Amino acid sequence: MSTSGAGLVGPTQLRARFAASLSALYGTEVPAYTTLVEVSEAVNADVLAAMGPAAERLGSIDRVTAERHGAIRVGTPEELAQVARIFGACGMHPVGFYDLREATPPIPVVSTAFRPIDEAELAANPFRVFTSLLVVDDRRFFDAATQARLEEFLGARRLFDDELLDLADLAEKAGGLESVDADRFLELATAAFALSPEPVDRAWYAHLEGISSVAADIGGVGSTHINHLTPRVLDIDDLYARMSARGITMIDRIQGPPRVDGPAVLLRQTSFRALAEPRVFREADGSVVPGSLSVRFGEVEARGVALTPHGRALYDDGGVGALPATDRELHEAGLAYYRRDADGVLQPIVYEDFLPKSAAGIFASNLTGDGSVDAAQRAAARDAHWLREALGRPLHDPYALYEAIARG
């Protein structure tokens, strides 16, 4: 646990409480999420009963039960830097650079994941948020007029008010918040990610949706929201079957590596389709009418051992079939990260990050249309260095973090 001044609510607790309050919010907004959490908990209880302590080799059951990842989407570098301050207060740091514009299908965003980075913090509560930033100046997606209108629209909105950001800065500086301030911070931070009742401009939203429904979800509305909140399961194949049996339509596959007999590697994910949620629209004649949008969905994940750059290259080229099927071989060939416990037994180090291909698949499974991309136009330059400047804080390299945990 991180230390904090006497009586202060420190980052660890802020993070755990933030994850729990977002979960409570999302459950009221998307009732199918509550079903997903219930089924996940039932699957995890059954795996634990069947396997005993071996079920906990990739994290304690307490960690896994509380474990969530969220996804949010923002529109400007300034919004991203603000989000970084809020997550920073909760001990969540930006890790990794993902360019979803290069994925199939291309999505006009670049992303990072905010998460705890050291072992004790991950064990206490590993809450992570996949955070995507719209690339408004990428001509393959947006013509000059759309870019200008996006910049104007996004520049005029305020996602996070000063009180929230001031409390976030205070928490980071002091290493925590007094109890009343912590309550207020969590209340404001949670509310900032709730679905807004503000009317959506129908024509503007539709224009963006013709380009990319992710662009519309970001730049077509005046606020941000949690896009999904993902519990972790110990057996995702069983989860998939149980959700389907309950009549919930899942996407047609589980993303990431297939099930293997040997050690699970990296990350497997699946989702159910976005549900129609009531939203209010403003029509061209100024009238405000009820309608609906389908942008938020349910996702679930299963995690395995983290691969080294060498292991990952083998996986990216040849899939799981290119990897040996035992911990010992993975370790000895330097393909995955392990540590030895006091008895000399190999302990896998959990993969804490995301997979760009799966992320694209998760985005894609919930797009309302094909969108439009003109590959002949110029791309906007974005890389990890650019993202670090936008964040105004260090951007961590995931491999360096696994390396540090493996060394103990």
One-letter amino acid of 325 = A
What's the min distance (Å) between Cβ of 271 and ligand OOG? 8
Contact of 150 with 219, CB cutoff 8 Å: yes
Nearer to Ni ion, 115 or 140 (CB): 115
The listed partner (ligand OOG, Ni ion, none) that binds 221, CB under 5 to 8 Å by sort, is none
**The token pair that represents 39 in the structure block:** 């089924």
Q: Which residue is nearest to ligand OOG (CB)?
A: 359
Q: Which residues bind Ni ion (CB under 5 A)?
A: 71, 230, 299
Rounded CA separation 188/185 (Å): 5
What's the min distance (Å) between Cβ of 47 and ligand OOG? 21
Kindly provide the residue ranges of all beta strands, DSSP E only, lying in 47-92, ordered along the sequence: 68-74
Residue 73's nearest CA partner among 121, 130, 30, 118 is 130
Q: What phi and psi values does residue 139 have, to the nearest 5 degrees?
A: -65, -20
Residue 71's nearest CA partner among 154, 133, 142, 14 is 133
What's the min distance (Å) between Cβ of 234 and ligand OOG? 18
The listed partner (ligand OOG, Ni ion, none) that binds 281, CB under 5 to 8 Å by sort, is none
Neighbours of 330 (CB within 10 A): 24
Nearer to ligand OOG, 86 or 362 (CB): 362
DSSP, collapsed to helix, strand or coil, labels residue 287 as coil
Nearer to ligand OOG, 141 or 185 (CB): 141
The listed partner (ligand OOG, Ni ion, none) that binds 125, CB under 5 to 8 Å by sort, is none
Nearer to ligand OOG, 71 or 208 (CB): 71
Nearer to Ni ion, 128 or 331 (CB): 128
What's the min distance (Å) between Cβ of 225 and ligand OOG? 10
Nearer to ligand OOG, 171 or 215 (CB): 215
DSSP, collapsed to helix, strand or coil, labels residue 393 as coil
Contact of 301 with 268, CB cutoff 8 Å: yes
Rounded CA separation 351/389 (Å): 26
What's the min distance (Å) between Cβ of 229 and ligand OOG? 10
What's the min distance (Å) between Cβ of 355 and ligand OOG? 7
Angle in degrees, 0-180, between the axes of helices 11-29 and 179-191, rounded to the nearest 10 = 40
Rounded CA separation 207/234 (Å): 41
Nearer to ligand OOG, 32 or 174 (CB): 32
Residue 361's nearest CA partner among 268, 234, 239 is 268
Q: Which residues bind ligand OOG (CB under 6 A)?
A: 71, 73, 130, 132, 227, 269, 299, 354, 358-359, 362-363
What's the min distance (Å) between Cβ of 279 and ligand OOG? 18
